Amino acid sequence: MKFIKGGELFRHFVQVKRFPEDHVCFFGAQVALALGHLHENKIIYRDLKPENILVGEDGYLMVADFGLAKFVQNGEMANSFCGTAEYLAPEMLIGNGHDYTVDWWALGILIYEMIVGIPPFFNRNKHKMYNLIKSGSINFPDPVKHKIFVSDNAKDIIGKLLNKDKHARLGAKNGADEILSHPFFKEIDMAKLCKKELEPPYKPALSEELAYFD
């Protein structure tokens, strides 16, 4: 396996607290492409979170840790209860079966967390958090009070990815293409991104080989 010198995205996220939206756009597009590739190969990932995204020394990302991934046939539903609490989709909690769209829900959580600094339904009481995931609304910070600005395009894509109805969720009909055509990603040249021809907005500061590892 490749040695990814930048380590987990989580470590970088902890250092900066929040990423600027152009960083989140660049990161989110890559994650959407990765998840779309998995889905095309009939794999549900099911454990998206900053700890499972690696940052290369070139500033490009890789999705890692497939311990909860599952092969599914077209139209097949998975039923295992698995994943990371803050990133669980409502249908996972309800237990009525889930499909590829749990990954698009998790992408919505990831985008929100990278911009705001905390997952949208986070609560220290897990029972309350699960209730919020199932029936709570998405709240965005007050830009004046909290000094955190979330653009209209970001709010829109987050809201559509976090649709509690998996059939109406962004990505449910046309997968990654549907998501990457959203205005939030309008500044990204997808062809160049796939070829790694875009200059990443963020690169890990590598003073030594193991700087981002315990």
Whether 73 contacts 43, CB under 8 Å: no
DSSP string for residues in the chain: ----TT-BHHHHHHHHSS--HHHHHHHHHHHHHHHHHHHHTTEE----SGGGEEE-TTS-EEE---TT-EE--TT--B----S-GGG--HHHHHTS-B-THHHHHHHHHHHHHHHHSS-TT--SSHHHHHHHHHHPPP----TTTT-----HHHHHHHHHHT-SSTTTSTTTTTHHHHHHTSGGGTT--HHHHHTT-SPPS-----SSTTTT--
Catalytic residue among 22, 47, 58, 156: 47
Token digits for 145? 């009070």
99 is catalytic: no
Catalytic residues: 47
